[in-house]
Structure 1
Amino acid sequence: MNAVKIPAGSVELSGELILPSASSGVVLFAHGSGSSRFSPRNTFVANVLQQQGIGTLLFDLLTRAEDQDYAMRFDIDLLTRRLLDATAWLQAKPETKALHIGYFGASTGAAAALQAAAEMGNAIAAVVSRGGRPDLAGEIALSQVTAPALLIVGSADYGVIELNKQAFALMKCKKELVLVPGATHLFEEAGTLEQAAQYAANWFLKYLQ
């Protein structure tokens, strides 16, 4: 494990960068509100990606002090800037600058991932949203995403399914919407997180090569 510090404006964000040997891509994780780089669900998905030879960067979108401010957790523009800062940091590092880049966003992090992907254009190879709020990315950003995007939602995550379908309809990129049977918002039901992780791994393996 490689603990890293990512410069983001006037602050430094803590993260963990793991690069399996011969990985062709690296996925940045944008966690949801009230979560951190230690999110057990994102860590689980990251482990699945690493086993498939995909690099991962789990990092805090907010400092500890910032995270105490409830409004900052939902400041999608700020979260997007942080994700873009982390992306620029990866693109400048000798060991990662040649790798294809993907984004994995959960909850509010999915909106930041899609906004950042819209801004980065072809520099981002793929985006996956798990239990995400892609609708919070806004109509303009959603229509500007060019990276292939996969939206994973629990079939019992009522309300969020509808929001994902609305966002999906606005996207013009290559896209898929997958419902995981029986899963609620946090994918806590037996086997559901494993299914979501496998969908994500397959998507990234397809587009990060």
Structure 2
Amino acid sequence: MKRRLLLVSNSTLHGSGYLDHCQQHISSFFGKNVKRVLFVPYALHDRDAYTKTARNKFKTLGGGNTFRLLKSLYDNNVVAEIRKRVMEDGVPYMGSSAGTNVATISINTTNDMPIVFPPTFSAIGLVPFNINPHYLDPDPNSRHMGETREQRITQYHEEPDTPCVLGLREGSLLLVEGNKATLLGSTKARLFTSGKPSVEYDPGSDLSFLLSDAR
């Protein structure tokens, strides 16, 4: 399999600028031979401003709303084409936040509000599991009474035949090269599997098993 993916939890890390926290990983991922990058700005309403932000970063990546991004991908009939180009032709794919969500099986585990309605929650399917970008741990000192991310993912796994969910904390990213997956970045990731205890993984961990067994 020719796929090469860089799936980032977040575009901006506290205390740094747009994609600053993973700039070295991005440079290594694309290498010196990549001269042109196709940026898909569908995740935000102001596409021109979003493109300008990404263009400025590449001169010296997407984020936004997952529902808007996926709807626009279907509206423009590019979901199947992106999958073909990545999986069969080996075109590198990078996504952050919403761009990471749509690279998975579905957007069922996004944190975003459904501000628009795509024709399906099924996503591009570049990996056979789901990701929860910006994953947050429960704060024992918080007075917030709403559900935690862990509780929401547990609710998702109450439904039958749901795949694993990789909780990518801010500062973490997943590099996929063919059938090999490696956790990169500065923070741990948490893996949720239906009917099993969650597991923590350190940066540098080999997560290739997720590419063949995502349940």
Shorter-chain-normalised TM-score: which range? Answer: 0.3 to 0.5
Q: TM-score, normalised by structure 2?
A: 0.37
Which structure has more relative contact order (CA 8 Å, sep 6+)? It is 2
Write 1 or 2 for the structure with the bigger share of helix.
1
Please, what TM-score do these two structures have when normalized by structure 1? 0.38
- The structure with the greater share of residues assigned to strand is 1
Larger Rg: 2
